[in-house]
Amino acid sequence: MTKRMESKYKIDRRMGENIWGRPKSPVNRREYGPGQHGQRRKSKLSDYGVQLKAKQKLRGYYGNISERQFRGIYQEARRLKGDSGAHMIGLLERRLDALIFRAKFVPTVFAARQFISHGHIRVNGKRVTIPSYRVKVGDAVEVKEKSKQLALVLEAQALAERDVPDYIEVDGSKLTAKLARIPVPSDVPYAVQMEPHLVVEYYSR
């Protein structure tokens, strides 16, 4: 297993949950945490510990995005009217890397980031190489013609472990996708329960 894979799966083990719902997740075999002391009995988490875990889980799910970026998303969500937790999810799902992962153009959110950085994605006909690029409702997202036969893309298309959510319109033959609407948390097909309200509480301390 490569170091990249090891560090990715370590997020699962640290959280004690298979956060992406992958069949190969080590949590399916070993439910204890990673490292020398992973098998120690876990003490009961404080309120702060519960909030921190919720934040780390959500941050990890979207490819372990940086703390600075994640806090920025929270601050933007807080400025919007209504439920800050729901707005956070909406902003995260509008990231280009999240959208092409949901559209099944790539097998993982980590692969999505690399796929975009390498210039395989166009938005409204223009090449975009920024994984955090924010997609607007109605934007046309497509895989570049030369990239459509890449093994990574073909592998993702064949994955049976997840379906495309209904807030994204996908043409599997042309490899195009469109954000039909901004989702609310209940729309998003997380493999485990996410708790954005606890993330808001964490940052509101």
Domain borders along the chain are 3-92+190-204, 95-181
Token pair 């509101």 is found at 204
CB 118, CB 165: distance < 8 Å: no
Element (H, E) at 41: none
Asked whether residue 41 carries a pLDDT value surpassing 80, the answer given is: no
Q: Which CATH superfamily is domain 3-92+190-204 in?
A: Ribosomal protein S4/S9, N-terminal domain (1.10.1050.10)
Asked whether residue 138 carries a pLDDT value surpassing 80, the answer given is: yes
201 is written with which tokens? Answer: 């509480």
Q: Which residues contact 110 (CB under 8 A, 6 or more apart)?
A: 4, 8, 63
Asked whether residue 7 carries a pLDDT value surpassing 70, the answer given is: no
Paired with 142 in beta bridges are 122, 176
Amino acid, single-letter form, for residue 164: V
Asked whether residue 125 carries a pLDDT value surpassing 80, the answer given is: yes
Predicted local confidence at residue 33, as pLDDT: 54
Task: Give the whole-number percent of the chain exceeding pLDDT 90.
Answer: 59
- Write down the pTM of the prediction: 0.81
Domain covering 95-181, topology: 3.10.290
